[in-house]
Amino acid sequence: MGLGVVGGGVAKVLREKKEAIAEQAGCPLILRKALVRDLSKPRSTQIAADILVTDAYEILTEPEVDIVVEVIGGENPAYEYIKQAVKNRKFVITANKEVMAKHGTELLALAEEHGVDIFYEASVGGGIPLISPLNHDLVASSVSTIYAIINGTTNYILSRMSAEGITFSLALQRAQELGYAEPDPAKDIEGVDAAYKLAILATIAFHSTVRPEDVYHEGITRLTERDFRYAKELGYAIKLLAIAKDIDNSLEVRVHPVFIPEDILLAKIEGVYNAVQLEGDLVGKVLFYGEGAGASPTSSAIVADIINAAHKINSGVEARHKARIFQTKKIKPMAEIETRYYFRMSIVDSPGVLAQIAKILGDNSISIASVIQKGTDDNTQTAEIVIMTHPAQEKAIQRALVEMEGQPVIRQISNFVRVEE
Amino acid sequence: MGLGVVGGGVAKVLREKKEAIAEQAGCPLILRKALVRDLSKPRSTQIAADILVTDAYEILTEPEVDIVVEVIGGENPAYEYIKQAVKNRKFVITANKEVMAKHGTELLALAEEHGVDIFYEASVGGGIPLISPLNHDLVASSVSTIYAIINGTTNYILSRMSAEGITFSLALQRAQELGYAEPDPAKDIEGVDAAYKLAILATIAFHSTVRPEDVYHEGITRLTERDFRYAKELGYAIKLLAIAKDIDNSLEVRVHPVFIPEDILLAKIEGVYNAVQLEGDLVGKVLFYGEGAGASPTSSAIVADIINAAHKINSGVEARHKARIFQTKKIKPMAEIETRYYFRMSIVDSPGVLAQIAKILGDNSISIASVIQKGTDDNTQTAEIVIMTHPAQEKAIQRALVEMEGQPVIRQISNFVRVEE
C-alpha cells in the first residue's frame, strides 16, 4: 500500500532479488496488488499495470494476500488500513512511525488476538536493526538509558551549522536543495518525528507504553552560529538527541538540542546518519549506527520483515520470543528532570551585573560551573556571557529564566541548551 | 558447563533476574546442574553445592536438562560436549568462538537433524547483537564488506600506543595489569582470536562456510611508536581490523593491522570496545558497537539466547527465519588482494637511493602516492623514509620487499602496513 519512494523501492527489491528472497523465506514471494492514488501516473518501477488498485479494500479483503506492506505514511488512513488488515488476519509490515507511536500497543494486541503480527523495524532508523535487537537480543538487560540521533534532517542541518558556521536557515535551505529536508520541514525540525520514534523505542526498551504526548519535544530552530562557537570552545558538540531514561521506574522521555562532550561517539555522527546508543545493566553501552532514511535502507528493513513474516506464516506459529509490555511506568514531568544547562545572554556591561545573575541562580539552588564573558560591544555597551551550570532541576531553571528576564541589566536571554555528559 | 568468570556471571543473572527472565521466556528457568573441574574450590557465586558435577555426562545425559550452556572455552572437550548435547536433543548456548569457527557448519547441521538449535551470539562481540541481526534483520541485503574491531585486548594496546606514544611491550604490560590481556597473550596479539570471530561472521554474512584456516592473520607485535607517529602525520589511525569482502563471489578474509582514515567512525573506537561495520547493497553502512568481552556483557548475550531457546522449546518449532548457507564461495589467496600500502625503511642517505627504490616499485607495477623523508642520523648516515603507495597487489608488494631487502643502500625495511580507505 503506497508506491512512492519507499514502496517503489520495496517492489524493486522484491523483483530484483526474487531468488535470494525465496531462498531465505523458504517460499517465493509474489507481489499481488499495489495501492496507488492515481492509476494514470507514470511509474519508474516495472510493475504490471493489472496489479495496481486505487481501493485499499481490494487488498485488505483479498484472500490471496497474506502480507500487507503499509508505506503510505501519516496517521490516516494508514491506521485504519492496518487495523483492517490485522482483523482480516493478514500480517502487516509497516514503516509508519506515527501510527506505531500513537497506536502501537493497541495494534500489536489486536494482531495477537487475530493470530497475526505487525513488524515495524523500518519505522525507526531506516535499515538499522533496532526494534528486533531490542525485542530479541537485549532482553536479558534492563535498559536504563537511550540516547538517539534518529532524525537525519536535523542531524544534517546541525552538522553543516557546526562545520561551516552557517545560519540555521541557510543550512535548512541546503538540506532542502539536497532532498534531505521536506518543503514543509516542521515535523523534523520541531522534533516531532524524533518524538514518535522515541516513543516506539522506549515502549519496547522499558516494557511500558510510552505515547507521543508523553515525550517532551523542542526543535533546533533557536540554535545560532554563536551557540556552536561557544560549544566548541567548551569542548562540546550540539546534537538533537532523543533521550529516554528509566530512573527508579519513572521515565524521562524528551527530544531537544543538547550539548554533548565532543569526544564521545554520538558527537561524531555526521550528516543524515542515525545512531542509537542504549545502556543496559548487563550489556553496558551498545550503539547502532547507519542510514536512517532513504528508499534503499528502508527497503532493507521492510524486506527482512517480509521474509520473517513469510517464514512465520509457513511454520504456523510464533516461536521467537518478543519483549513484552508488562509494566506501567510513570512519566516524569519535564519540570522534574535534572541536568546541566548552558545559558547565553546579553548583559549591560557594568560592575555587579554578574553578581546579580549569580544571586538569582543561587536563590534557585542553581550552582555555576563556569562563565565565559566576551568583550563589550562599544556601540550598545553590552557584553555577552555564557554560563554553564552544575546539575539543576528544570523547574528551578525555568524560574530563574523568568526572574532574569525581569532584570533591566539583562538585555536578552539569547538561548539556553541542556547538557548531557 | 564451566563456572568461571562467564559461567559464574550467567548463574548470577539467572538467579538475580529470575522473575524478569520467566516473564520474558514464558516459563521459569531452573539451573539444574553446573559442571566444574574441582568441587572443593571456593566460589563467589551462590550456587547450591548439590548441583555441582565434575562429570559432563551427568549433564549431557540428564533428561531434565533442556538447554546446555557451554562456557568452558577452547576446542576440546567443548566440541565433543556440544556434539553430545545436540545428539541428545538438547539446545546449546555457547560463547565458544573456536568451536563455532572450526565446526560451526557441521554442528548447526547436526542440530537441525536432531530438531534442536545452537545459539552462539556471545561468541563474537560479547553483548553486542551481531549474529542475530545478521541472521534475521539484514537478510534482505547482500553484504559486501565487513570491517571489524573484534579483539578488545589488541584494541586496548593500540589505543594506548597511539595516545601515549609507548612501546608495544609496555602497552601489553599495562593491559595485563588491568586484566585486559591474558598472561599468555599470543592468541589475541597474533590475531588468532579475531580470525575465529571473523570466520563466524563471514560464514553468516556471505552464506558460505569460511573456516579459520581460510583467514589470513597477522598480529600487532611489529608496530612501533614511529608507525603511530607517521600514521598521525598522514591522517590515519592504526587498528587491528578483521576484514571480509565479497568481490564477485570471491571472498577476502584477513586480520592484520591497517591504516584507516582518522576521521571515520572505526578510527574512534577506543580501548576494549568492539565495533563491527557491515556494508550491504540495500542497507548501506551499518555499525554495531559495544563491550566485546567481560562477564556481564557476555551474560547479556547468553541469557538472551537462553530466553530465545526456552521460547522455542515451549512453542515446539522453528518459526523465525535464519540466514542459510546455500553457496560455496572461493577464498581469494592473500597474494591476490589489492590495497594500498605503507612502508617505513632506513636507507643510506646518499643521492639516487630514492630513485632506486622507486625503480623497484615501478618494475613491480607499484605506484607511489607520497613519500616522507626525515632528517639524516649523522652517526649512521641513514635516513628514514616512509612511502605510501597507490593500490597494488599483495604479491607485487611481497616481490618488491624481497628485491628491496637485497639492496645495500636499504639498511632495513622497518615495517609495512596495509591501508584501507
Which chain B residues contact residue A13 at CB under 8 A? Answer: 140, 282
Contact B286/A17, CB-based, under 8 Å? no
Q: Chain B residues with CB inside 8 Å of A128's CB?
A: 283, 286
pLDDT value at position B320? Answer: 45
Separation in Å, CA of A45 to nearest CA in chain B: 16
- The alpha carbon of residue A244 is apart from the nearest alpha carbon of chain B, in Å, by 19
The DSSP 8-state label assigned to residue B193 in this structure reads: H
**Which amino acid makes up residue B417?**
V
Are the Cβ atoms of B283 and A127 closer than 8 angstroms?
A: yes
Q: What is the largest CA-CA distance in chain B?
A: 80
* pLDDT of amino acid B121: 97
Catalytic residue among A33, A83, A90, A197, which? Answer: A197
Q: Taking 50 as the threshold, does the pLDDT of residue A319 lie above it?
A: no
Q: What does the pLDDT read at residue B375?
A: 73
Residue A12 has pLDDT above 80, yes or no: yes
In B71-179 the beta strands, taken as DSSP E runs, fall at 91-94, 118-119, 143-149
Q: If DSSP codes are grouped into helix, strand and coil, which group holds residue B332? A: coil
Q: Which residues of A are less than 8 Å from B301 in CB distance?
A: 137, 140, 283
A26-55 mean pLDDT? 88
Q: pLDDT-based confidence at A28, cuts 50/70/90?
A: very high
pLDDT of residue A43: 75
Q: What pLDDT shows up at residue A317?
A: 58
| Distance separating alpha carbons of residues B254 and B256, to the nearest angstrom | 7
Q: Do B296 and A285 touch (CB under 8 A)?
A: no
* B282 → closest Cβ in A24, A300, A326: A300
Helix, strand, or coil (residue B290): strand
> Which residues from B are below 8 Å from A304, CB to CB?
136-140
- Tally the C-alpha atoms within 13 A of residue B281's C-alpha that lie toward its C-beta: 13
Q: Which of B41, B34, B37 is nearest to B8 (CA)?
A: B34
State residue B319's pLDDT score.
40
Is the CB of A283 less than 8 angstroms away from the CB of B323? no
The active-site residue out of B33, B97, B102, B197 is: B197
Q: State the smallest CA–CA distance between residue A317 and chain B in angstroms.
A: 6
Q: With bands split at pLDDT 50, 70 and 90, how would you rate the model's confidence at A322? A: low
Distance to chain A for B257, nearest Cα, Å:
22
Distance CA B281, CA B269 (A): 25
DSSP string, A10-72: HHHHHHHTHHHHHHHHTS------EE-S-TTS--SS---GGGEES-THHHHT-TT--EEEE--
Distance CA B194, CA B244 (A): 12
Q: Which residues of A touch B311 (CB under 8 A)?
A: 319-321
The residue among A381 and B282 whose pLDDT is bigger is B282
The one-letter amino acid at B319: A
pLDDT at A264 over 70: yes
Grid coordinates 536512517 are at which residue? A292
CB within 8 Å of B261: residues ≥ 6 apart:
B235, B236, B237, B267, B421
B133 with A133: Cβ contact below 8 A: yes
Mean pLDDT (chain A) is 94
| Contact list, A16 vs chain B (CB under 8 Å) | none
A41 pLDDT more than 90: no
Nearest alpha carbon to residue B79 among B58, B50, B110, B54: B110
User: Which residues share a beta bridge with A331?
Assistant: A251
Ordered DSSP codes for A95-109 = --HHHHHHHHHHHHH
Which stretches does DSSP call E strand in A71-171?
A: 91-94, 118-119, 143-149
Q: Which residues on neighbouring strands pair with residue A143, listed in sequence order?
A: A280
Tell how many helices (H) and how many strands (E) occur in chain A.
Answer: 14, 17
| Chain B interface, best mutation among A283, A289, A298, A314, by max B CB count within 10 A | A283
| Confidence at A320, pLDDT banded by 50, 70, 90 | very low
Q: Chain A: residue nearest B14 by CA?
A: A140
Nearest CA in chain A to B131: A137
- Best A136, A138, A262 residue to mutate vs chain B (most B CBs within 10 Å): A136
Rounded CA separation A323/A336 (Å): 29
Q: Across residues A294-302, what is the average pLDDT?
A: 95
Q: Per residue of chain B (421 residues), what is the pLDDT tens digit?
A: 999 999 999 999 999 999 999 988 888 999 999 999 988 887 765 788 889 999 999 999 999 999 999 999 999 999 999 999 999 999 999 999 999 999 999 999 999 999 899 999 999 999 999 999 999 999 999 999 999 999 999 999 999 999 999 999 999 999 999 999 999 999 999 999 999 999 999 999 999 999 999 999 999 999 999 999 999 999 999 999 999 999 999 999 999 999 999 999 999 999 999 999 999 999 999 999 999 989 999 999 999 999 999 988 887 655 444 657 778 999 999 999 999 999 999 999 888 899 999 999 999 999 999 999 887 778 888 899 999 999 999 999 999 999 999 999 999 999 999 999 8
Which of A93-102, A319-328, B150-159 shows the lowest mean pLDDT across its residues? A319-328
What pLDDT is stored for residue B207 in this prediction? Answer: 92
Chain A CB contacts of B317 below 8 Å: 315-317, 319
Residue A80 CB neighbours (<10 A): 13
C-alpha grid cell, residue A15? 523483483
Catalytic, B197? Answer yes
Provide the 3-class DSSP secondary structure of residue B265: helix
| pLDDT of the residue at B369 | 95
Q: What is the pLDDT of residue B323?
A: 58
Under 8 Å CB pairs connecting chains A and B tally to 208
Which of A69, A116, A141 has the highest number of chain B CBs within 10 A, making it the mutation to test binding with B?
A141
Angstroms from A268 CA to nearest CA on chain B: 7
**Inter-chain CB proximity A319 and B319 less than 8 Å:** yes
Name which of A288, A321, A322, A324 to mutate to probe chain B: the one with the most chain B Cβ atoms within 10 A of its Cβ: A321
Interface contact A299-B282, CB threshold 8 A:
yes
Residue A200 sits at φ, ψ, to 5 deg, of -65, -50
The tally of CA atoms less than 13 A away on the side-chain side of residue B366 is 27
Say how far apart CA A14 and CA A303 lie, in whole Å: 8
Rounded to two decimals, the pTM is 0.95
Residue A49, min C-alpha distance to chain B (Å)? 26
**Averaged pLDDT, A298-309:** 95
